[in-house]
Structure 1
Amino acid sequence: MIRFDRVSKRFHAHRQRPRSFHELFVEGWRLWRRPPAEVFWALRDVSFEVKPGETVGLIGPNGAGKSTVLKLVARVLKPTSGRVEVWGRVAALLELGVGFHPELTGRENVFLNGAFLGIPRREMARRLEAIVAFAELEDYIDVPVKHYSSGMYVRLAFAVSVYLDPEILLVDEVLAVGDAAFQRKCVDHLMALQQAGVTILLVSHDLEAVQRLCHRALWFDHGRIRMEGMPSSVVQAYLDQVREREDQALRDHNRQEGPARRGSGRVRIQRVYLTDGEGRERYHFETGETMRIHLRYRAEKRIERPIFGLAIHRQDGVHICGPNTAFSGFEIPWVEGEGEIIYTIPTLPLLEGTYLISVAATDERDSEIFDYHDRAYVFRVVRGRHPERYGLMTMGGRWDHERLSVPQSLSVL
């Protein structure tokens, strides 16, 4: 249904000329001489095919070229080089409200979109009731769409697209605008279209939806296809790269000098870093993994029975815990010179989110603060293979079921 053969797409970005004589006078002649256009390649030498009835997901970071692919299929853009071949009637849901005239009512825009695709007005009238019902706009269909909320806009746009009997459906990220109930309805309808043999090209940052809906996935990176294959494999490879980049950014952040600190300085915490169960320095963890927090210190003089502690806050400020060596009954007789304290969490109970760590060293009476770093270190928790997704942490509990009685009708059977 769709074939890309060594397709590239180039854009030119021109700097703005002076908008007034005053601006020209102030900025000088250099603004009048338009500099050479900056060239941006949205796609470079891209080749792939989509077979009839396939649902293919396009994933990757913003600016990777995914939406450009959809616009080329929809004939909104032409390739700079290469060849794009499309067989079949295309319905595209590319951007919120594209193809809608703001001054026209929802009803008039339905007929307008049908006219764009060459569908007779009588046929569109036959489909109108189903479109309005799906979009849940019965009370607003005769209101100009300029008065619609973003959710109403996208509901109508999606309903029109899927009820035009497309052979190829292009869906960009706009589905995220709808509420949760409408998103579920959209997914159900996409599955029905799949059963009917419609070819679907889906751009989404919802990687779970890509794995659930798509037969194949293409990972785009800087205008090229980096990986193609089964959605689960492609998504995992993409997530691994994203986490590797984020992990490096967190590592750089946590190593920067000069954290917000206070204290007498008789013991100084010189470095804080995290490792996993295999001793690798990391700042991304999955729920349930082993995580170790290392506090490397230096004491210029001998300090008797110091206490080391830490606190973990969620990014929104919720204080989760504040363990220290005294609470755990872990006595350190004295410190002098350099050393390291390690706090091990065998099974990390935190659910997905961003977390901040504070660290401290105090005297045995907790009256003198030697060193205190307030929420200076960051780590991320991702779901990974853990099924829970709601709340702050997993309790690690166990479910049991005990039947206390059996209905009389079932006991007879």
Structure 2
Amino acid sequence: MIEAHACDEDDTALYRRVNVDAVLGHDATTALLIDDFERRGLSIWDRDRVLLANDHFSPPATAERADISNRFLAFAREREIPNLMLDRGICHQLLVEHQLCQAGGLVVGADSHTIMAGGIGVCATGMGATDILFTLATGTTWLRRPETIAVRFHGALPPGSGGRDVVLALLAILGESGAQYRSLEFHDESTSRLCQDDRFAIANMAVEIGAKFGVFVPDEVTVDYYRKRDGELLGTLVRPDQDAVYERVIDLDLSELDPRVAKPWSPANVVPLRELEPTPITTAFLGSCASGRLSDLRDAAAELTDRKVHPDVRFVVIPASVEVFKQALRAGYVETLTEAGAIVNHSSCGACGGIDKGVLGADDVCVSTSNRNFRGRMGHWDSRTYLASARTVARAAARGVLAPDLYGERRNG
């Protein structure tokens, strides 16, 4: 895809200058480039190709964050950005819900989890504020063509397992830097194809493995997603050449993947849930751009039907976007979760980055569907966060403990 977007003529160069199809930005990082953008007297190269969302401070929890948010919003409004998504959810979810995001396209964003759009065959990656400033002004950036690791999925996921368990298994294999500045190319050859939400979860956390891109080879699941979203396929399905050369090929038998958990303080500190020592929890979190989609809310609601959240646990649920929130409301998932004792909050990043709506204290132990469990990320330095799937999070919330027998004490699906 990089060569197809190149706007220079030197195909032997290590770095190629490329045209981008869209730029993504949110309040927290876009605010970092405003001073330089205005000082240089720059203008945006194509307002229609920019999507901006206030998702970190939505709504702001402090006066300082309100000032940052207001500056960001003023910047977008003064430039008449048509795709300003005001309090509509997490920017990465909003991106894949938007027609700007098309198969075969090249998207850059001011956040590392922009990579999630690879779940629908988009070449997407995150960059720093300075790089995004340049791209906003020129519509171009520089990229080095990465080496590629092919990951081929076989078999079928057992009941109770999902995309989160798949990507945690990959993190156990490759570690936090095993795909550094490489492209992870996902080939879904499984008996029953991974659903789109599972693919988003896997692509989202490809960056936790160090990947520059994490792209699913498009197939009928991809086409179905675009047809439901846009009415028809508008982009280009880019598939690997038959003679494609890979740095490494990983074959993963999905049928062997029972639920996985990442222990503090690394997403790669992964063990099967059945091998985890029983760990009492104080907090459960279902949300973030890594999860918080409709299937996650569905799974959690199924686990908590006719059950209650443990009295010692605070269970915070944040749908990834307002559109997901509305779908969950119509399906009855929000009512089920609320009846069980969960706290359902406005669509935003929330507790994932220790921002608001469930920040952890020193004594808190959390099981979370977020993508990172670095020390201090979700709150106090001494708090502890375990990463797991929405189903595992909901089961732990009901039991009050993250235990190896969670999947033996209730239905297996």
What is the TM-score normalised by the length of structure 1? 0.22
What is the TM-score normalised by the length of structure 2? 0.22
* Higher RCO structure (Cα 8 Å, ≥6 apart): 2
More strand by share: 1
Structure with max Cα Rg: 1
